[in-house]
Structure 1
Amino acid sequence: MSELVLLAAGGTGGHLFPAEALAGVLSARGLTVDLATDARAAHYAGHFPARELHVLPADTVRGRSAASLARTGIALVSGLVSGLALMRRVKPACVVGFGGYPTVPPLLAASICGVPSAIHEANGVMGRANRMLARRVAAIATGFPGLCRTDPMLDAKAVWTGNPLRPAAVAAAAIPYDPPVPGGPLKLLVFGGSQGARVMSDVVPDAVARLGADLRARLDIVQQAREEDAARVTAAYAALGVRAEIRTFFDDLPARMAASHLVVSRSGAGTVAELSAIGRPAILVPLPHALDQDQAANARTLADAGGAKVLRQVEFEPERLALEIHTFADEPNALTQMADKAKSQGLLDAAERLGDLVQHLAGGGTVKTFKGMRA
């Protein structure tokens, strides 16, 4: 059997997609890849390119009550015991975590067993699970530069790799931006993460209703909506006479991004990475209640480069969004400039860069001897 790398990822697309991209790179280089996750994520990992899927007990901190903390603690201890057994059984050369509490047991087990390990932090702010693990791992790969600059100990083992892209996003990045022409269609893509965001269903149709009839006639909308919201969103656009395709999930989202003139979305790390790689202008609405405000940090990086406009959720109202859409419709050159600036922030080879680091660690190397870009 070839050298084994064990990847660990939580149950969201933001964790699984970069892990999947790395798995593809490592497999192409002749390494064997296994995936460790929890029961929830296992339902979404059916197409993950791994030799074997290992399901370990884990739980997220869901509250501060004694009962909630006790349940989480029991699950993590049980997961650690299972993780130690897994280390002894599969003997990985390296363990790599991508965030989320399901990564804690296998990464702690790797630390206890002396197995080289790394975490990848996709966001502009380190998540709670990764913060728990950061001092125990050999390397910290970051999606954004400067993530660990305030902590010298962590900064010494940080490497800026960027956020690995799924193959569909790399393919979409080859499609040049085709700006709208005066009086022609204006293609708007709206989504809110893997589950859709209700706020998009509440705000965007009402914003479109406030636009003039001429501009509404130009709109071509592709929107993700939760299952319980899809019918009312579809009906709202139909009543306005606006062309719209509404789905609860798009499995070809990178291609949809590439086909759009303007994107309205949340600002998860994967979304920002794909918008940057593909080079599409966006109005970003960070998730407001996240404890770490990671989406706000992600959005700022793209906005500071000129590739996006950020609206806080309290600002994301129909009147304001209608004004933004109207302004962009009248200024196609501004959209083109934003697309170019977004594209300038993209990293198409992040998975390869992360693969270089992981192979280096698996071969017994250290961050100090690694030749890649320091964070």
Structure 2
Amino acid sequence: MSEMKPLIILAAGGTGGHVFPAESLASELLSRGYRLALFTDKRGGTYSGVLGELETLRISAGGVAGRGFFGKVRSALSLGLGTFQAKRLLGKMGPSVVVGFGGYASVPTMIAASLGGYASMIHEQNAVLGRANRLLAPKVKRICTSFEQVDHIGEVDAKKIVFTGMPVRQNIIEMRPTPYTPLTDNDPIEILVLGGSQGAQVFSDVLPEAFAKLPPALRARLHITQQCRPEVLEDTREAYKRNGMNATLDSFFNDVPQRLAKAHLLIARSGASTCAEVTTIGRPSILVPYPYAIDDHQSRNAHAIDEAGAGWLMPQEAFTADILAERLEALFTEPQTLNNTAGASLNAGRPDAASRLADAVEELIEV
């Protein structure tokens, strides 16, 4: 009889940025024969895909820092209760490794793992260590990162860093072999605009006017696909029509990998998943960080892409129709710049991130 593989606990919940890498790691670890379970918070919905197939245990969790006195009290009580629940469950299950993916939903489980002496690690999706992971960093044995340089990691904890990259969906990885199509003088110019899970109002405000300012010959070549907030979808469509342009608009596209592979240029927010996906496929991007993100982590993400020559950071305050039109005209009339940036983007991608993350887990089992 073959020996039973060790049990690994994943602690994740909240936004897709935390859940996507957990799902990718789960797929990789299952393919290696490991047993898995998911710890998440009680407010989370039912997960689909691989995570939906795992044994799921829900515990109490609260924000790392509540708002106001009573908010802080409620958060502390939720954190204490969740830690107690997680410690009791870990004691019954006896995992070999506990892996956290940031966000408040992971905090009680990771604190309980530390108190129980279990091998543990966290994965940070952004180029800034999130507040939950900052709390957990001193308590874990490994800190896996999506970017080579990550802010807010102390000198002592820096020794724990393992650069793995940000895992992406399998259907993104499948598009990586698709070559970038160089622009010629008469080709259609494929532009994809993504605004994150909620869409981005600023893109609807700025892009129709910016595209309209391009010379007529360039404007006629544009093929625009844009994600919009549902409430501004029709207004954005009308704005394009007023400027004599057609665009494919929707609040959600279920074929983003294919559209991204076809694109000559991506215009998007700079969440961790977007940065990982565009570099996995290898496409140039203009990244406009969400200016109100905690710790301005989207700016740090976009800066890393810009610094690698894989795209361009445009702060939202500089993202005006005039400035963008000038940038786009320069890119479309000097297409070699786009070609070179596409190559740098592909080079910056880490399609093996899930495998590297799973390797880090296995190293902890062996310690």
Q: Given the two structures, how large is their TM-score scaled by the length of structure 2?
A: 0.93
Distance 1:41 1:247 in 2: 26
Q: CA deviation at 1:63?
A: 5.6
Give the 5 Å matches for 1:239-258: 239-258=242-261
Task: Give the structure 2 partner of residue 281 of structure 1.
Answer: 284
Distance 1:29 1:248 in 2: 37
Task: Give the structure 2 partner of residue 187 of structure 1.
Answer: 190
SS of the aligned residue for 2:50 comes to coil
Q: Quick check: 1:115 aligned with 2:121?
A: no
Which of 265, 270, 279 lines up with 2:268 in the alignment? 265
Which of 317, 326, 329 lines up with 2:329 in the alignment? 326
Task: Give the structure 2 partner of residue 129 of structure 1.
Answer: 132
Is the Cα contact below 8 Å between 1:10 and 1:102 reproduced in 2? Answer: yes
Distance 1:87 1:145 in 2: 32
Q: CA deviation at 1:40?
A: 4.5
SS of the aligned residue for 1:7 comes to strand
Is the Cα contact below 8 Å between 2:291 and 2:316 reproduced in 1? Answer: yes
For each residue in 1:13-33, what CA deviation from the matched residue of structure 2 results, as whole angstroms up to 9, or x when unmatched? Answer: 211111111111100000122
Alpha-carbon RMSD: 1.9
Which of 324, 340, 350 lines up with 2:353 in the alignment? 350
Give the 5 Å matches for 1:76-225: 76-147=79-150, 151-225=154-228
Structure 2 vs 1, CA of residues 143 and 31 (structure 1 numbering), >3 Å: closer, same or farther? same
Q: Quick check: 1:48 aligned with 2:66?
A: no
SS of the aligned residue for 2:174 comes to helix
Task: Give the structure 2 partner of residue 369 of structure 1.
Answer: none
Structure 1 unmatched ranges of 5 or more: 366-375
Task: Give the structure 2 partner of residue 22 of structure 1.
Answer: 25
Q: Which moved more, 1:143-152 or 1:66-75?
A: 143-152
Q: How many residues align?
A: 363
Distance 2:19 2:81 in 1: 22
Matching residue's letter, 1:234: R
Structure 2 vs 1, CA of residues 321 and 40 (structure 1 numbering), >3 Å: closer, same or farther? farther
Distance 1:284 1:52 in 2: 38
For each residue in 1:214-246, what CA deviation from the matched residue of structure 2 results, as whole angstroms up to 9, or x when unmatched? Answer: 322211111111111112112222333423221
Q: Which moved more, 1:145-154 or 1:308-317?
A: 145-154
Q: CA deviation at 1:56?
A: 2.2
SS of the aligned residue for 1:172 comes to coil
Structure 2 vs 1, CA of residues 214 and 205 (structure 1 numbering), >3 Å: closer, same or farther? same
SS of the aligned residue for 2:57 comes to strand
SS of the aligned residue for 1:187 comes to strand
SS of the aligned residue for 1:289 comes to coil
Q: Given the two structures, how large is their TM-score scaled by the length of structure 1?
A: 0.91
Is the Cα contact below 8 Å between 2:12 and 2:19 reproduced in 1? Answer: yes
Q: Quick check: 1:297 aligned with 2:287?
A: no
SS of the aligned residue for 2:348 comes to coil
Which of 215, 220, 230 lines up with 1:227 in the alignment? 230
Structure 2 unmatched ranges of 5 or more: none
Distance 1:184 1:41 in 2: 46
Distance 1:357 1:73 in 2: 31
Structure 2 vs 1, CA of residues 300 and 46 (structure 1 numbering), >3 Å: closer, same or farther? same
Distance 1:33 1:234 in 2: 46
Is the Cα contact below 8 Å between 2:83 and 2:112 reproduced in 1? Answer: yes
Is the Cα contact below 8 Å between 1:99 and 1:119 reproduced in 2? Answer: yes
Q: Which moved more, 1:112-121 or 1:56-65?
A: 56-65
Is the Cα contact below 8 Å between 1:12 and 1:194 reproduced in 2? Answer: no
